[in-house]
Amino acid sequence: GEDVEQSLFLSVREGDSSVINCTYTDSSSTYLYWYKQEPGAGLQLLTYIFSNMDMKQDQRLTVLLNKKDKHLSLRIADTQTGDSAIYFCAESTPNDYKLSFGAGTTVTVRA
Amino acid sequence: DGGITQSPKYLFRKEGQNVTLSCEQNLNHDAMYWYRQDPGQGLRLIYYSQIVNDFQKGDIAEGYSVSREKKESFPLTVTSAQKNPTAFYLCASSPTGTGIYEQYFGPGTRLTVT
């Protein structure tokens, strides 16, 4: 079965890098996703990585995948106040359209 | 401009009344989903549909019903049997033929039942 876990809170200073961590348990995962949710809004897909990749970079976002430890991380470079939000990681498994979501990490950016 | 719309943004109902939440997408996606989000918690899957005229229960389907008569629309009815209906409801859709099942979300409907 799928079980995705995240730490609940992260506080970071503006301009620093943020690193949000996630662990998953299903070894047959195909894609792993990061979503962002701002207050009172829906989820916005930030990026995803295929399970045979180690890293993916997209502007200020870097995703690292450690398949051995089933560990996924999202690094946000030069964190801004607009990055304050809840970040969810999610996984999908082969031939299943459902996603399993973690509980979300609330990121607070302080001046 | 493609996307998912949910209406209304805020909904208030009295206990004992059924209420229907709207979800429409123009992304030409086959699959659609309904989630419930409670404060400080992640997303819990209520129902999902992979194709028109077919849908499956998710993890917390009790007290909810859905229909999928059109590809673009997936309305959710919160019935009076749902014990704690006050929550934030999110609708999503995804493609099914690409191997990447990324889900795209609507803006959500906040339902308050008193």
Query: What would the pLDDT profile of B79-102 be if each residue is shown by its tens digit?
Result: 999 999 999 999 999 988 777 788
| pLDDT tens-digit series, residues B13-54 | 999 999 999 999 999 999 999 999 998 778 999 999 999 999
Which stretches of B1-108 are assigned E, i.e. beta strand?
A: 4-7, 10-13, 19-25, 31-37, 43-51, 54-57, 64-66, 76-78, 87-94, 104-105
* Residue A88 structure tokens: 């969810």
Q: Say if residue A2's pLDDT is above 60.
A: no
With beta carbons under 8 A apart, name residues in chain A contacting B108.
40-42
Here the tokens at position A52 are: 């045979």
Res A50 pLDDT > 80: yes
Give the whole-number percent of chain B exceeding pLDDT 90: 86
Residues in chain B with CB shorter than 8 Å from the CB of A102 are 42
| CB-count burial class (<10 Å; 0-12, 13-18, 19+) for A85 | buried
With tokens 């990749």, the residue in question is: A53
Report the pLDDT value the prediction gives residue A1, as an integer from 0 to 100.
Answer: 41
Contact B34, B66 (CB under 8 A): yes
Tens digit of pLDDT for each residue in A13-28? 999 999 999 998 877 7
> Which residue is closest to A5 within chain B, CA to CA?
B42
